[in-house]
Amino acid sequence: MTRGVRLTPIRYQVLELIWGSHKAVKAYDLLDRIKPLQPMAKPATVYRALDFLIEQGLIHRVESLNAFIGCSYSGQQHEQLLLICKLCHEVEERAAEKVMKTLAREMKQLAFVAHSKSIEIHGICIKCAQPMVNQT
C-alpha cells in the first residue's frame, strides 16, 4: 500500500470478502467465511481488520445495518451518501457533492461542527423496482 501501512493476510481477506459483493456484510458473517482460511480467527481479529480498513478509507460502516461495504472513492477524503435497497440489500455509495455542499451550508448556519458525514437512505433500487413497474 502507498500509505506506508501493511495489508496483512487477514486484512486482505476481509477486504476481499467485503469487495466481493455490493451488499453490506456483517462482521460475524465475515468471521464465518474467514474461519476455513484462518481457523484461529476470533471476532476481535475481524473487528481489528475492519477498524484498520475503515481507518485507511478502504471500507465504510453502514450504521443502520451494522455492516460494512467497500469504499468507491478510497483515493480521496469524502463524505458518503449510501443508497440501501431494502429488497436486494445492495448498497451504492454516491459522492453527491451538491447534497453535501447544501448540508455543509445548513450546518454552517447553525454553527454545527460535524466530525463525520454519512447519509443513509433506504429505498428500492432500479433493478428491484423494474419488475414492479413492468407488472403494472
Averages of pLDDT over runs of 10 residues in the chain (136 residues) are 76 94 92 92 95 92 95 77 94 89 93 88 94 67
**Would 82 be classed as within a structural domain?**
yes
71 in a known ligand binding site: no
**Would 80 be classed as within a structural domain?**
yes
Residue-range definition of the domain harbouring residue 122: 9-135
**Would 34 be classed as within a structural domain?**
yes
pLDDT at 117: 81
Q: Say how many C-beta atoms besides its own lie within 10 A of residue 52's C-beta.
A: 19
**Would 1 be classed as within a structural domain?**
no
pLDDT at 133: 64
pLDDT at 136: 59
125 in a known ligand binding site: yes
Contact status, residue 24 vs residue 91, Cβ threshold 8 Å: yes
pLDDT at 63: 94
Cell of 111: 454553527
pLDDT at 108: 94
Tally of domains within the chain? 1
pLDDT at 105: 94
Cell of 85: 435497497
Distances (CA, A) of 124 to 107, 127, 133: 29, 8, 12
Contact status, residue 31 vs residue 49, Cβ threshold 8 Å: no
In 20-90, DSSP assigns E strands to 59-62, 67-70, 80-85
Q: How far apart are CA 119 and CA 131, in angstroms?
A: 27
128 in a known ligand binding site: yes
CATH of the domain at 84: 1.10.10.10
